[in-house]
Amino acid sequence: MAGICEGRVVIVTGAGNGLGRAYALGLAAEGAKVVVNDLGVGTHGESGETMGAAEKVVAEIKAAGGEAVANTADVADWDATKGMVEQAIAAFGRLDAVVNNAGFVRDRMFVSCTPEEWDAVTRVHLRGHFCTSRHAVDYWRAQQKAGNPIDARIINTSSGAGLQGSVGQSAYSAAKAGIAALTLVQAAELARYGITANALAPNARTRMTMTAFADTMTSQQDAAFDPYAPENTAPLVAWLVSEQSKSVTGQVFEPFGSTIRISEGWTDGPTSADLGRRLEPGEVGEIVEALVAGRTPAKPVYGTA
């Protein structure tokens, strides 16, 4: 029986390990042809730490009877990501989806974070999402203008750190929050071209989460069902890549184990009464206190509770 992604061509970035590897293998098992991208760096962006990771995943896919090619582009390199999109088209004749997953961390308290660390983290996550997706969109728009129907997907990777913040991860949290907002804009702007955009905020064991939450991430590793296994997120990714998801866009999903939660994001909360005049500074405190007391409590920042 054909899988739900039969014939779909997908780029998965950061697919040499962890979640990206699970996505690539899961997509291939569902019939997708996969461009497996991985630069081969470590959890902090150290060059050369996992060289050959993309090729190993490609070998696994081919051994299982699937189709895949390896790519080692830097996802934040404008020209290299253009080449990655061109590689997908040259290898498989088309491109249907981009799964933006690549990233690394430079965990540091805000008071200790350097400009270099800040730039490195925001570059790989936020610029990396921009470069790869932008070249894919250029291709899809050109196809649509040529009269070819488009049913394309952008799947971004945010994080709980981006949705609620995480102590010691100011740069990472800021970048991941930016990705969530980017997803909303992409969904609004690109629907006219037949492109959907959604994001994931996975709760899974990866090289990055193990640097900050090792005890939690390994707590159930030997259980009959390991809720932190990265493979648990792969079915949602496969469905989002498939044609079945064409009516869903602009959403942020928080998968964990066998559960899927959808984030409601920023929305209007309590509002003070309109007095029909400018407020006096001395009046503001009482109003704000009432608004804070009346709002739905926010989820705590990771590391504070």
Domain that holds residue 186: 9-262
Residue 220 has pLDDT above 70, yes or no: no
pLDDT of residue 97: 98
CATH number assigned to the domain comprising residue 199: 3.40.50.720
The total domain count for the chain is 1
Task: Determine, yes or no, domain membership for 115.
Answer: yes
Residue 301 lies in a domain: no
Query: Which has more pLDDT, 225 or 49?
Result: 225
Give domain status of residue 272, yes or no: no
3-state helix, strand, coil in the chain (%, to 5): 45, 15, 40
- Over the chain, what is the mean pLDDT? 92
pLDDT tens for 78-118 read 999 999 999 999 999 999 999 999 998 889 999 999 999 99
Active site residue 139: no
pLDDT of residue 186: 98
Structural domain contains residue 270: no
Residue 102 and residue 38: Cα distance in Å, rounded? 8
How do residues 38-93 score in pLDDT, each as one tens digit?
998 655 545 555 569 999 999 999 999 999 999 999 999 999 999 999 999 999 99
107 within some domain? yes
267 is a domain residue: no
List the catalytic residue out of 23, 139, 172, 228.
172
Does 304 reside within a domain? no
**Mean pLDDT of all residues in 179-202:** 98
Q: Which pLDDT tens digit goes with each residue over 252-290?
A: 999 999 999 999 988 999 999 999 999 999 999 999 999
Percentage of the chain with pLDDT > 90? 82
Residue 293: φ, ψ to 5°: -65, -30
Task: Tell me what pLDDT residue 215 has.
Answer: 60
Query: Which amino acid makes up residue 61?
Result: I
Q: Kind of pairing, strands 195-200 and 252-256?
A: parallel
Is residue 33 part of the annotated active site? The answer reads no
Catalytic residue among 166, 170, 176, 242: 176
Residue 254: inside a domain:
yes
Structure-token pair, residue 62: 């081919």
- Of the residues 133, 158, 159, 245, only one is catalytic, namely 159
